[in-house]
Chain A
Amino acid sequence: MKSTSFIGSGSRRDWLILVLIMAAALWVPSVLNRGLVFIAGMIWINAVFGLSFNLLFGLSGVLSFGQAMFFAAGAYATAVFTQQLGIPFLLALLLSAAVGGLLSGLVGVVALRRSEGVYFAILTLSFAELLHLLIANTSLLGRNDGLSGLTRPQINLGTWQLDLAVGDHFYYFIVLVCGLLIALIRWVIDTPFGRALQAVKQDPDRAEFLGISVRRHRLVIFILAGATTAAAGALVAPWAQIVTPELGHWSNSTNPILYTLLGGSAYFWGPVLGALVLSAVFYVTRTLVGMSDMVTGLLLLVVVLALPGGILGLLSRWTRRSEPAPIIPSDSSAQEKSL
């Protein structure tokens, strides 16, 4: 389709950006120290976390306040699958994504049945807290201490072997997997399913009376976002080599929201930029003990009050001529309506 008003049509530019940032990311280990390489890996993981959230919020008008449960589920699933059950890593990764999909399916069937908007947000928050408590009280999962000493895996494909524990191998693996997940998320937006979700967000009644099953569409995108979130979480386990119940804490559910609002929910790359900027802020303020929460809070205040379109919204206002294709026109009233 040429010149359309759909979000995410004409994706060539975004593919190019993805390839460029992946290429740039490959340079990171050769120029930065180990600590920063670790942070770079976390930014990739958090970018997928944020993009998955925005698949719900920005594209479909579904506000989930419990995405940390899928992140934690993915992380714990990988830890258990690889360390306790000895399942090969790549398979464990796929299974962890499936666990996220299954869990979001269960939550979605219950929460989407009767609730919308704020009620849905509260319900997802409740489910996430439930899972958080469950993890923190299960001895098999290490209770409050979590599971530590996780080893980075090897990949064995027939005769071909790759030891991800060596050097920066796992970092490159993260870049590759997150790049693929970002590509998947980008692709979904520009499908008939993605367009139907945009319709559902803009007017669910009209969508229903065009024969679009609003509930099923919301459920499927919720499951997809749950699976990609869990896949991101699954990468954390071997990367940080420890998983703790904190991953499922409600405050971790606010992270993708923060990335999205900071970067700009109306832009595909908004959550990615938000994750990058927030990580940079945390890094700079890391020595100020106890300050990071305050910085986060202040940043959120500034964004909500002064930058309703996020950083990309601000940039696009400054550089009128080369406007980043908005994935949603930055009209905050329309978003409020759909919540």
Chain B
Amino acid sequence: MSTSLPLLEATQLDKSYGKIKVLRDVSLSIGAGESHVVIGPNGAGKTTLFKVLTGEVFVDKGTVRFQGDDVTRMPANQRVHRGFGRTFQVAKVFPKLSVQDNLWVALEARVRKQNPLAGVSRQDAANFFNSIDLLLADTGLENYRDIISGTLAYGDRKRLELAMVLALEPVVMFLDEPTAGMSASERQATVQLLLSIKRKRGLSMLMTEHDMDVVFGLADRISVLHYGQLIASGTPEEIRHNDSVKEVYLGHGDDHA
């Protein structure tokens, strides 16, 4: 892929729920291998931005392009097969299935595409056990293989969700508050985990995050969303010294952390 072309490019996105304009004229892009963090106070539209970028809901206006293709109206499950991976603010796993079987579902889904009638070859199934070993090792869940995921501690469930998304071998990961609800030490571990995943797999990431240590620990680029509008976008250094950002957000960043 040429470096001049962004991997993902969203242009002039508008989204309203009834009379409430949640996103107004938002444009943003993610380069290959870049980690881009969107920050903003609660209600700024971060989650909605996630939803329209991943295909959970569609925009009223604007376009989303991925690897040069228009994916604005493409359903979520199809975007996944193009290389979109997504985690949720409150981790979503299959609570009645063991850790291993959660990953199994992800691996089968990847092979079967969206076709309900598609099977899985013996060869593929044999490889799944290897993939599961690697994914568990990468996310530090080796000892939880047979645990029913609904009984996992919250932080472990988030790591399982991450492993499930990695099983899809995504090109770009959308992480909605990857450290929400975690203790300080868990948060640090998660930052290390995400950095190592990024290093190892060369993934692009788009994140929302409240915790400023996490934001500045992970971001190559930061965008600031405020009342549905993007008020600044730049390197962490630029954002740190941007006056309008300081005013609306970082000035009382502690309140929001």
Inter-chain CA distance A328–B97, complex, in Å, is 10
Contacting pair A209 B76 (CB below 8 A): yes
Inter-chain CA distance A205–B176, complex, in Å, is 14
Q: B109 — which chain A residues lie within 8 A by C-beta?
A: 196, 199, 207, 210-212
Contacting pair B168 A213 (CB below 8 A): no
Task: Check if B18 is an interface residue, CB within 8 A of chain A.
Answer: no
Contacting pair A192 B108 (CB below 8 A): yes
Contacting pair B119 A220 (CB below 8 A): no
Q: A209 — which chain B residues lie within 8 A by C-beta?
A: 54, 76-77, 80, 85-86, 92, 165
A220-B114 CB under 8 A given contacts A202-B96, A209-B86: no
Contact with B along A75-119 (1 / 0, CB 8 A): 000000000000000000000000000000000000000000000
Chain B min CB distance to A323 (Å)? 15
* Cβ-neighbour of B95 out of A1, A203, A213 (below 8 A): A203
Nearest A residue to B97 by beta-carbon distance?
A: A5
Cross-chain pair count, CB within 8 angstroms: 106
Nearest B residue to A193 by beta-carbon distance?
A: B116
Contacting pair A210 B106 (CB below 8 A): yes
Inter-chain CA distance A193–B111, complex, in Å, is 12
Contacting pair A334 B77 (CB below 8 A): no
Contacting pair B105 A199 (CB below 8 A): yes
Q: A3 — which chain B residues lie within 8 A by C-beta?
A: 146
Chain A min CB distance to B144 (Å)? 13
Inter-chain CA distance A209–B112, complex, in Å, is 14
Contacting pair B119 A191 (CB below 8 A): yes
Contacting pair B114 A211 (CB below 8 A): yes
Contacting pair A206 B54 (CB below 8 A): no
Q: B112 — which chain A residues lie within 8 A by C-beta?
A: 192, 196, 212
Q: How many residues of A contact B (CB 8 A)?
A: 33
Q: B116 — which chain A residues lie within 8 A by C-beta?
A: 193, 196, 213, 216-217, 219-221
Inter-chain CA distance A5–B99, complex, in Å, is 9
Nearest A residue to B54 by beta-carbon distance?
A: A209
Inter-chain CA distance A199–B113, complex, in Å, is 15
Inter-chain CA distance A188–B86, complex, in Å, is 29
Contacting pair B54 A211 (CB below 8 A): no
Q: A255 — which chain B residues lie within 8 A by C-beta?
A: none
Q: B101 — which chain A residues lie within 8 A by C-beta?
A: 4-6
Contacting pair B88 A210 (CB below 8 A): no
Contacting pair A334 B168 (CB below 8 A): no
A192-B120 CB under 8 A given contacts A211-B80, A211-B81: yes
Contact with B along A298-339 (1 / 0, CB 8 A): 000000000000000000000000000000110100100000
Task: Check if B117 is an interface residue, CB within 8 A of chain A.
Answer: yes
Q: A211 — which chain B residues lie within 8 A by C-beta?
A: 77-78, 80-81, 109-110, 113-114, 168
Inter-chain CA distance A207–B146, complex, in Å, is 20
Contacting pair B118 A192 (CB below 8 A): yes
Interface centre among A6, A191, A202, A334 (most CB of B within 10 A): A202
Task: Check if A198 is an interface residue, CB within 8 A of chain B.
Answer: yes
Q: A214 — which chain B residues lie within 8 A by C-beta?
A: 77
Inter-chain CA distance A193–B119, complex, in Å, is 7
* Cβ-neighbour of A5 out of B75, B80, B96 (below 8 A): B96
Inter-chain CA distance A210–B100, complex, in Å, is 15
Contacting pair A210 B168 (CB below 8 A): yes
Chain B min CB distance to A275 (Å)? 26
Contacting pair B120 A334 (CB below 8 A): no
Contacting pair B93 A195 (CB below 8 A): no
A-B contact pairs, 25 of them (CB 8 A): A4-B101, A5-B96, A5-B97, A6-B97, A191-B119, A192-B120, A193-B117, A196-B109, A199-B94, A199-B97, A199-B105, A199-B109, A202-B95, A206-B93, A208-B77, A209-B86, A209-B165, A210-B106, A210-B164, A211-B114, A212-B109, A212-B112, A213-B114, A331-B96, A334-B96
Shortest beta-carbon contacts, A-B, top 7: A211-B80, A213-B114, A206-B92, A220-B116, A5-B98, A202-B94, A210-B109
Give me the interface of B with A, judged by CB distance under 8 Å: 54, 56, 75-78, 80-81, 85-86, 88, 92-98, 100-101, 104-106, 108-110, 112-120, 146, 148, 161, 164-165, 168
Q: Can you name 11 extra interface pairs (CB under 8 A) apart from A6-B97, A213-B77?
A: A4-B101, A199-B109, A203-B92, A206-B88, A206-B93, A209-B76, A209-B165, A211-B77, A211-B110, A212-B114, A217-B116
